[in-house]
Structure 1
Amino acid sequence: MMAAATATAAAAAAAAAASASSRKPLATSTSPMPARFSVVLCLRLPHHHPLRRLFHGPSDGPPPQLPSPSQASELWIAKALAAATLLRPHHLPAFRPLSPSPLAAAAALRLAPCASSALSIFTALHYSPLFIPPSAHSYQHVIVLLCKSARQADALQLFDQMTTHCGYFPDARFLSFLVNSCTCANLLDASAALLSKASQFGCRVEAHAYNKLMSLLIGYGRMHDAVALFERWVHDGVYSPDVWSFNVVIKGVCRVGDVQKALKLVERMNEFGCSPDTVTHNILVDGLCRVNQVDKGRQVLRRLQTDGVFMPNVVTFTSVISGYCKSGKMEDAMAVYNDMVESGMVPNTVTYNVLINGYGKVGDIGSAVAVYQQMMLRRCHPDVVTFSSLIDGYCRCGKLDDALRIWNEMAQHHIQPNVYTFSIVIHSLCKQNRSEEAVGLLNELNMRSDIAPQAFIYNPVIDVLCKCGKVDEANLIQKGMEEKGCLPDKYTYTSLIIGYCMKNRISEAITFLHKMVETGCSPDNITINCFISCLLKAGMPNEVDHVMFIASGGALSSQKMPSHVR
């Protein structure tokens, strides 16, 4: 009975609103029927139901300005449509004799409390049973709500329906919004497809949207896709690239070592009224240095200094210095550094780190320390990379005590070592058979919650303990390694297997070999040959076939193992 009354009230409300729109309006009166209909529906809603806002305005403040009767009728029809769709959708056919307008349908969509409700109202009003022709504003309103609710897939489906079936084309602003929403949701292919259709829609999107998409594609390693899209968009005249556009693409091709392609792109900038800026030259110089064409990078640097149009900055100089340091040409690197200082450029921490690391790699720790001292004199604050490079340089020269002194000096600068600093010192301690100190540093590392342990840090400690015959202690290190969520690798298992073999504990060595195979870590020839050699030295030639069987992925069975092995 109540449902029938609701449907009757809804139809009556709509009919009253429709008839009110055809009569001459009264300035101070409105139709009483919509108000009565709102009371009926509100009585059926819970107190905190979001749909109550369809019928109640704000309780405080000045009274709202009364709309015209035609607007009021459309508003009340919209309220009735929204309420009936969300509460009693099977009563919607009662509205068909009234032929609701697209304006009322659009207003009903705006009354929806969320994206799901808006999509439900859109589907109910524009399809069966009412078939109200949808407007472009209705489509765009629902698409915006869906995008803001992270439902880009539904938004794209509705957008395709809007453009393909209804022939509504977006403007540049709306298309930019949709592209940006898909890009932020990592739907990069969808964004590329939308931008490629901009010319079909007759709108011109700003270059910012294209640049952001290409930058993300390159960031995800899809450089070739980014370059292909760039060339297609330029060829089709979809957009006019700016300096940022070229910088993004040039950086991408330089990252994969295609410097010749980068140089061709620089030459094409004039076609679009663009000129290379400092960022362009920095990218180009860095790209040349990455492919070991440091001399050409230095030529570009000198040309910039000579022309004076775009002065090189600290990034330009540091790129050339880094290129020479990686090639071991420290004299050339220092010459560029001196040129940098003479030109009035102030080196930064990265510049000094590159020089210190370069001198450390070639074994010239004295020069590395001299650069560090100059860095401190210029009041350039060191970081963890600075100290890690110094420690590595001392360790390469066999001066482990000096490396430990630098390690302690880090604390005075309130700098904590990172995973690579730990790795350098632990590895050097193990090389000098100072296993107790290495284990102490490893325990200190395990107490750091901000460092994810890696197998290459544990392996030297396990290896040196096994070589010293402390296999049980090495096994404890391996168990602690797994408790920290760090899986052993091939080198971990090989050290343990050989260590147990050297202690003539063959059964435990075979257990580790089986565990190694079970975890998907295939032993290499070095592991198998060392194991076989240990078996032969232990006078157990019959176990060679058994070890080969396990190494090939065979299941370990205690029944197949001879008693003396068990």
Structure 2
Amino acid sequence: MVAAAGRGPPLPRALSPVFSTAVSQYESLLHRCATAGKSLATTEKLHGRSITFGLISNYILSLLTSAYALCGHLPYARKLFDELPKKTAIACKSMIRMYAENGRPRDALHLFVETRACYSNTADEYTYPFVLRACRDLAMVEVGMVIHGLTIKSGSASATFVRNSLLAMYMSCGDREGASRVFAAMETKTAVSWNTMISGCFRNGSAKEALMVFDAMVESDADAIDSVTALSALPACGHLKDLQSGRRIHRLVESKGITKRIAVQNALIDMYVKCGEMDSARGVFDGMAERDVVTWTSVINGYISVGDTNGALEMFGLMQVEGVTPNEVTLASLTAMCAASRDLNLGKCLHGWTVRREVECDVNVETALIDMYAKCGRMNLSLRVFNTTSKKDTTPWSAIFSGYIHNKMAAEAIDLFKLMQREGTRPDEATWKSLLPAYAVEADMRRAMSIHGYLLRSGFVGKPDIITTLMDIYAKCGCLRYAHDLFDALPAKNRDIVAWSVIIAGYGKHGQGQLVLSLFDRMVESGVEPNEITFTSVLHACGHAGLVNDGLKLFEFMQRKSPEILRMDHYTCIVDLLGRAGRVEEAYAVIRSMGFEPSHAVWGALLGACAIHENVELGEVAAGWLFKLEPENTGNYVLMGNIYSAAGRFGAAEEMRRMMDGVGLIKAPANSVAA
């Protein structure tokens, strides 16, 4: 049709100027559509006119391609682009932009690479941001660094739009240092620049740095602060529980008049909730002219976080009265509340509500229900909910694995993993974190090596959290050599407090006290600060290895340097350590020096020491407390009876047996695992 139009009879001479003017106006309008406009209807009309006028040149087709690309109409733009006799720079730039904006980042990068060799001006300060966006969406930081180099070479790197795109690319790829270098080199920082840095620092696990950037923004360019700034900085305050900074931001956004936006008000409520300030959160809530489901859910979560079940349920009812329908997040939060409080009846009511509203099939709700029934000890109901899921998403699998382990059913969790394999669902990192503890509980070397091999084949062994869990599994199996090999294979930067605690605890449980102390010293020298679990493991190891002086030195260090870290387990370990060494009076003195009420474990450690060293007087003190704290524990009566018998006080020993009979206790018979 186009060829026929080109061979038609010539226009009368009188009409030629008119036609030329019309074509000129047409080309001008089409050029505007191809460079600035986003009207699909106008583009389609101009396309029709080009066919009517017989204007199907390469130039016109490239403009039409660009116009359709700007409208995001992929089929038309792609068809015209593929049919172009010769690709033009304007068409290539528009196609790159279209691909990047419409979820086709790979196509954007491929086109950029293909056309760059043909057209030196394919990319400029208006195109590089879309190429960088493609790198960001694909998390290809190495490719992004190459594009960064090209922007410098072409002179486009100084453009603010390009630099902001570089910031976003580096932050999205987790390269905070790369983003910081770009940010520091920027002569002119816009609100987008500051906001990208603040939100990027927070997303990459550096909330403190996010607030430092915010403070710098306040000092250098306070006028640039907008609602996006508030939405970027407030989550950092909530994460750090930094109420002072949160209140300062609240005052600042109020002075700028941007607190009327519902998103900002919701962010303020969330910040106050995470800082434990329910009165302030409720104050923001009560002052809102409009509330959405996020508003109500945030307040409900606030009441849940402070343990106010009635307040949460009251808000749940009020939101429905005001015509706001609870969403899946609201229901998942309330169900999690039931799980934490072990309120099975309320959990069942919520389950019924989700069924009536037909939202029980949402994966968040399903997962919360699975967890709730498991925490309430009803694994049969938990499994029933699990069996109704599609089993394609890994989240319900993770919840059911955790449920089995919570209910001391590790073997069942491992058996269910076989079903997961048959279903063809690939475990993710969260699934492994839920499942692998089952192998540590079972402490079966054959199974441990089998799952280790599976992890190697599936490529998860390179992840530090997975390696740490494997170390714990091998340590529980008694294979400390394998555990230590995994520890040595961890890069120094990935040897966090969890990894050190696992290897220290492993050696401690196997009585290798000297090695535990050596590892503890290495950990401190490497700059990793011990936590309460690490201290417990070292004290436990010292007690079982008879390293009394070393254990006492460590305990005295804790009392002097970190008294706030002292927990019941630490006192139990030190009482056990002194008791094993026969220093029972000192052990009792430690108990009397405690700043809080001793638990049954502390008194049990003292009673055990008294039984070993036949100390009747202190044994009676310890037993007296234990009979109050755990009256149904037969072991305490038996131990005290043995102490009396060893001292020749058989009447008192008989009295212990009568006390057991009086409360209806029967000593559990011994058993053997031997076949």
- State whether residues 339 and 375 of structure 2, in contact with CA within 8 Å, keep that contact through their aligned partners in structure 1: no
- Kindly provide the CA deviation profile for residues 122-181 of structure 1, in whole angstroms up to 9, marking residues without a partner as x: xxxxxxxxxxxxxxxx8x57975996973322434455xx5xxxxxxx6xx962344145
State the partner residue of 1:269: 221
Shift of 1:383: 0.6
Picking from 330, 335, 344, the partner of 2:280 is 335
* 1:58-109 residue CA offsets vs partner (Å, 9 max, x unmatched): 457845779xxxxxxxxxxxxxxxxxxxxxxxxxxxxxxxxxxxxxxx99xx
The answer for the alignment partner of 1:71 in structure 2 is: none
Q: Per-residue deviation at 1:261?
A: 2.4
Matches within 5 A, 1:186-265: 186=135, 187-196=143-152, 200=155, 205=159, 207-234=160-187, 240-255=188-203, 256-257=206-207, 258=209, 259-265=211-217
Change (3 A) 1:489 1:196: closer
CA offsets, 1:211-267, max 9 Å, x none? 344333322223432342233242xxxxx5443333333433454321122221233
Residues in 1 aligned to 2:371 and 2:215: alpha-carbon distance in whole angstroms: 43
- 1:45 — aligned with what? none
Query: Which residue of structure 1 aligns with residue 447 of structure 2?
Result: 512
1:239-298 C-alpha deviation (Å, 9 max, x unpaired): x5443333333433454321122221233227xxx5323333443334333332223222
Q: 2-side partners of 1:289 and 1:267: how far apart?
A: 22
Q: TM-score, normalised by structure 2?
A: 0.48
Matched, 1:414 2:358: yes
CA separation of 1:188/1:478 partners in 2, compared to 1, >3 Å: closer, same or farther?
A: closer
- 1:377 is aligned to 2:321: yes
Aligned equivalent of 1:88: none
Paired position in structure 1 for 2:70 = none
State the Cα distance separating 1:514 from its structure 2 match. 3.5
Cα distance in 2, alignment partners of residues 345 and 494 from structure 1: 49
- Deviation, 1:481, is 1.7
Answering whether residue 132 of structure 2 is matched by residue 179 of structure 1, we say no
1:351 corresponds to 2:298:
no
Q: CA deviation at 1:399?
A: 0.7
| Structure 1 spans left out of the alignment, 5+ residues | 1-52, 67-105, 120-137, 163-169, 235-239, 502-508, 533-546, 554-564
Task: Tell me the alpha carbon deviations over residues 358-398 of structure 1, each in whole angstroms, 9 at most, x when there is no partner.
Answer: 32233221111112122222222211110111111122112
The question of 1:394 aligning with 2:350 is answered no
Contact 1:363 1:396 in 2 (8 A): no
Question: CA separation in 2, counterparts of 1:438 and 1:60?
Answer: 74
Following the alignment from structure 2 to structure 1, what is the Cα–Cα distance between the partners of residues 198 and 448?
50
* Aligned Cα root-mean-square deviation (Å): 4.6
2:200 alignment partner, SS class: helix
The letter of the residue matching 1:398 is R
Instruction: Give the C-alpha shift of residue 465 in structure 1.
Output: 8.0
Secondary structure (helix, strand or coil) at the match of 1:185 reads helix
Structure 2, unpaired ranges of 5+: 13-57, 63-79, 98-106, 136-142, 456-460, 462-466, 486-673
Q: Deviations over 1:501-554 (max 9, x none)?
A: 9xxxxxxx554233123224777576457656xxxxxxxxxxxxxx7788899x
Distance 1:346 1:291, change over 3 A: same
Do the aligned residues in 2 keep the contact of 1:341 with 1:347 (CA within 8 Å)? no
Aligned residue in 2 for 1:8: none
For the residue of structure 2 that corresponds to 1:456, the secondary structure is helix
CA separation in 2, counterparts of 1:303 and 1:548? 56
CA contact (8 A) 2:414 2:435 kept: no
Q: Give the letter aligned to residue 185 of structure 2.
A: R
1:325–1:354 contact (8 Å) kept in structure 2: yes
**d(CA) in 2 for partners of 1:467 and 1:551?**
24
Quote how far apart the aligned CAs of 1:350 are.
1.7
Aligned position for 2:262: 314
Distance 1:490 1:432, change over 3 A: same
1:284 aligns with 2:236: no
TM-score w.r.t. length of structure 1: 0.56
CA distance in 1 between partners of 2:434 and 2:354 (Å)? 31
1:289 touches 1:320 (CA, 8 Å); kept in 2? Answer: no
Q: Distance in 2 between matches of 1:526 and 1:266?
A: 47
Residues 1:321 and 1:491: Cα distance change in structure 2 (over 3 Å): closer
CA deviation after TM superposition for structure 1 residue 117, in Å: 8.0
Do the aligned partners of residues 549 and 194 (structure 1) sit closer, same or farther apart at CA in structure 2, a change above 3 Å counting? closer
Partner residue in 2 for 1:4: none
**In structure 1, how many angstroms separate the alpha carbons of the residues matched to 2:95 and 2:251?**
54
User: What letter corresponds to residue 378 of structure 1 in structure 2?
Assistant: E
Q: Which residue is equivalent to 1:539? A: none
User: In the superposition, relative to structure 1, how do residues 61 and 338 fare at CA in structure 2: closer, same or farther (>3 Å)?
Assistant: farther
Q: Structure 1 residues 178 and 511, CA, compared in 2 at 3 Å: closer, same or farther?
A: same
Q: Distance in 2 between matches of 1:397 and 1:223?
A: 40
What percentage of residue pairs aligned between the two structures are identical?
14
What is the rounded CA distance, in whole Å, between the counterparts of 1:281 and 1:314 in structure 2? 12
Partner of 1:556: none
Secondary structure of 1:350's match?
helix
| 2:378 counterpart of 1:434 | yes
Structure 1 residue 325 corresponds to structure 2 residue 273: yes
Q: CA separation of 1:395/1:458 partners in 2, compared to 1, >3 Å: closer, same or farther? A: closer
* Number of corresponding residues: 390
Q: Following the alignment from structure 1 to structure 2, what is the Cα–Cα distance between the partners of residues 278 and 549?
A: 55
Q: Quote the residue 2:3 is aligned against.
A: 57
State the Cα distance separating 1:464 from its structure 2 match. Answer: 7.0
**Partner of residue 399 from structure 2, selected from 438, 457, 473:** 457
Q: Which residue of 2 aligns with 1:506?
A: none
Structure 1 window deviating more from structure 2 (457-466 vs 370-379): it is 457-466
**Secondary structure class of the residue paired with 2:224:** coil
Q: How does 1:356-371 map to 2 (within 5 A)?
A: 356-371=300-315
Q: Deviations over 1:169-211 (max 9, x none)?
A: x6xx96234414522432533443454456x58x985x44443
2:243 to 290, 294, 299: 294
Contact 1:243 1:275 in 2 (8 A): yes
Kept in 1: contact 2:370–2:396 (CA 8 A) = no
Question: Whose radius of gyration is greater, 1 or 2?
Answer: 1
SS class of match (1:414): coil
Q: Distance in 2 between matches of 1:180 and 1:462?
A: 49
2:145 maps to a residue whose letter is D
In the aligned structure 1, how far is the partner of 2:234 from the partner of 2:436?
45
Q: CA shift at 1:403, angstroms? A: 0.9
Distance 1:62 1:213, change over 3 A: farther
